[in-house]
Structure 1
Amino acid sequence: MSRGASLLRVTIVYVIAIAAGLAWLLWGPATDHLWLDGLLADLIATLVVFAGSRIFRNSSVYDAYWSVIPPLLAFYWWVAADAGVNDVRWWLMMIVLLAWAIRLTANWIRTFPGMHHEDWRYPLVRERAGRFGVVADLMGIHVFPTLVVFAGLIPVYVVATRAGEPLGWLDYLACAVGIAALTLETVADLQMHSFIATRSPGQVMQSGVWSWSRHPNYFGECGIWLSMALFGLAAYPGAWWVFVGAAAMVTMFLGVSIPMMEQRSLERRPEYSQVVARVSRFFPRPPKKGSLQTTRA
């Protein structure tokens, strides 16, 4: 299957998924809680994407869902809450969220080679689950990240439903954190794309922002959700729980994604251990003393 045909199939799955979620919001039984309505619609759309993953035998069909759904949920809450168009906090937050969603989705489109390719982690998850592979696929690869992203959107819901709170320094801090995180993610991706295009077999990326963090893209991703949490706190002072989603993101990356990637890198490139000894795992900081030349593994 060609790349174009693969992207078309993913797009069709997403259109059906979004339509299913929207149908629930428009004609399904209301819960009297906008956040719960949004969650149920999100889960329904996720189930549709899961069905698409099973039909095409490729769970990477889900990958772009991470960045496609958040702006749609945000605007649903904003419209349903009748917040009005003059809430500056809302638009500051949405500038960050939309820029993030466009960048991440475009990056996925750029790097998705087609249906013949599936993220290497997904078969591993299914294999480890044995006869419960389908359950692991549904809950671990589809539903779990949907719930984590939804938790990250809790402060977005707060901002959408609490229009009118005065703008303050925390809003500008939130915007600055979001722009910085978006810039870091963008630079990290561009540097990695350039490296992949020119690297020799066995080389390890450890230059640019990758010399300060072994996973700067993940650090930037968590910064985006921290930005959302700060916006939520500005709209609802004292609501510490708006940070739950950002904390869940950090926990997922540090507890699941990064360990899996680190183990794979060490198995495939033994000299990656030199990078581990020199470069910070997550939080960017100057590298320890030692050569930062690309290492042949």
Structure 2
Amino acid sequence: MAADHRSSRPVGFAVVAAVYVAAGLAAWAVAAAMPGAHPLAVTLVADLAATVVVFAASVVVRNASLYDPYWSVAPSVIVMAWLWWRAGGEIAAVTERQLTVLVLVLAWAVRLTVNWASSWRGLGHEDWRYVQLREQRPSWLPFWVVNLVGIQAMPTLVVFAGLLSAWPAVTVLDRPLGWLDVVAALVVVLAAGTEAVADRQLRSFARDPANRGRIFEQGLWRFSRHPNYLGEIAFWWGLWLFGLAAAPGWWWTVLGPVAMVLLFVFVSVPLMDRRSVQRRPAYADHMRRVPALLPLRLRRGV
């Protein structure tokens, strides 16, 4: 692909759209080939098939970031598919809990996808973490393996685990809305709001040339080094509360939000912190004063 096309945002977005349509068709074909199987099994296999399509396209265009919007696009599609299956295609049969979960997941997905789109510059722009993995991997390990397993398949499985709690929330209909649903909705709204505000604050700070090389310690970022990650984690806990409200027996789906916590605490946060220390040595002191996620300790030296 020509260099000018790789730097073109319209071309990049057109490629992403075509790839995701192909991924959706692959998922649909897989689902159609599994009649009689449990919807959760069908969804998982279809989800992985779509991921393979996105992976193959990312190899062709030499950009692993092709997968990035999958994190926010796939959950809303999966929840809609589950709801459609449970409602038997009858929109009028959708319950209050189902509608609440669907609207909140869609709002979260649209916001997160738009946030990705606003910062992606085209096929020539690959997430720095993927570039780092490409450059620092052992010489014997092909990057396509890192790309398939670490960058794409692993997040797909973690997100699917997080979505397991949405299954009872949209398919178990014998429990009416209650106080736990209210708590769940508040958690999800606050979580998505925290993410949105944190992303907007950081984007505004980064766009000002006067802030180049400086450490952002304003707004939500004054109390947490990664408030956007905190909001993302809280979103999945809120989704779990919806599942618990609908079917307490599905409490074990807590494995989903726990997996999210582990992903961010042991992968995303350390990666971001190490990069920040390398680019801004004063960030090490910032790490001592500001907690990584939960704003539980008092700031010193302010």
Instruction: Name the TM tier (shorter chain).
Output: over 0.9
| SS of residue in 2 equivalent to 1:252 | helix
Q: Given the alignment, which residue of 139, 163, 170 partners 2:180? A: 170
* Greater CA drift, 44-53 or 276-285: 276-285
Structure 1 distance, partners of 2:97, 2:185, is: 9
Q: Residue by residue, what CA displacement relative to the aligned partner does 1:70-91 show, whole Å, maximum 9, x if unpaired?
A: 1111111111123663411111
1:31 is displaced (CA, Å) by: 5.4
8 Å Cα contact 1:87/1:164 also seen in 2: no
Q: Given the alignment, which residue of 147, 152, 155 partners 2:157? A: 147
| SS of residue in 1 equivalent to 2:114 | helix
What fraction of aligned residue pairs are identical, expressed as a percent? 42
Structure 1 distance, partners of 2:255, 2:139, is: 32
Q: Given the alignment, which residue of 57, 67, 73 partners 1:68? A: 73
1:232 counterpart = 2:240: no
Q: How does 1:1-297 map to 2 (within 5 A)?
A: 1=5, 2-26=8-32, 28-30=33-35, 32-82=37-87, 85-126=93-134, 127-132=136-141, 133-198=143-208, 199-285=210-296, 287-291=298-302
1:285 is displaced (CA, Å) by: 4.0
| SS of residue in 1 equivalent to 2:202 | helix
1:243 is displaced (CA, Å) by: 1.1
TM-score (norm 2): 0.92
| SS of residue in 1 equivalent to 2:248 | coil
1:278 is displaced (CA, Å) by: 1.2
8 Å Cα contact 2:230/2:294 also seen in 1: yes
8 Å Cα contact 2:289/2:300 also seen in 1: yes
Q: Residue by residue, what CA displacement relative to the aligned partner does 1:126-155 show, whole Å, maximum 9, x if unpaired?
A: 332433222111010000000000001101
Unaligned 5+ segments in structure 1 are: 292-297
Q: Residue by residue, what CA displacement relative to the aligned partner does 1:92-149 show, whole Å, maximum 9, x if unpaired?
A: 1122211100000000011101111111111322332433222111010000000000
> Stretches of 4+ moved more than 6 A in 1?
none
Structure 2 distance, partners of 1:31, 1:143, is: 25
Structure 2 distance, partners of 1:184, 1:201, is: 24
1:157 is displaced (CA, Å) by: 1.2
Structure 2 distance, partners of 1:95, 1:285, is: 31
Structural RMSD (CA): 1.4
- Number of residue pairs aligned between Structure 1 and Structure 2: 290
8 Å Cα contact 2:180/2:245 also seen in 1: yes
| SS of residue in 1 equivalent to 2:137 | helix
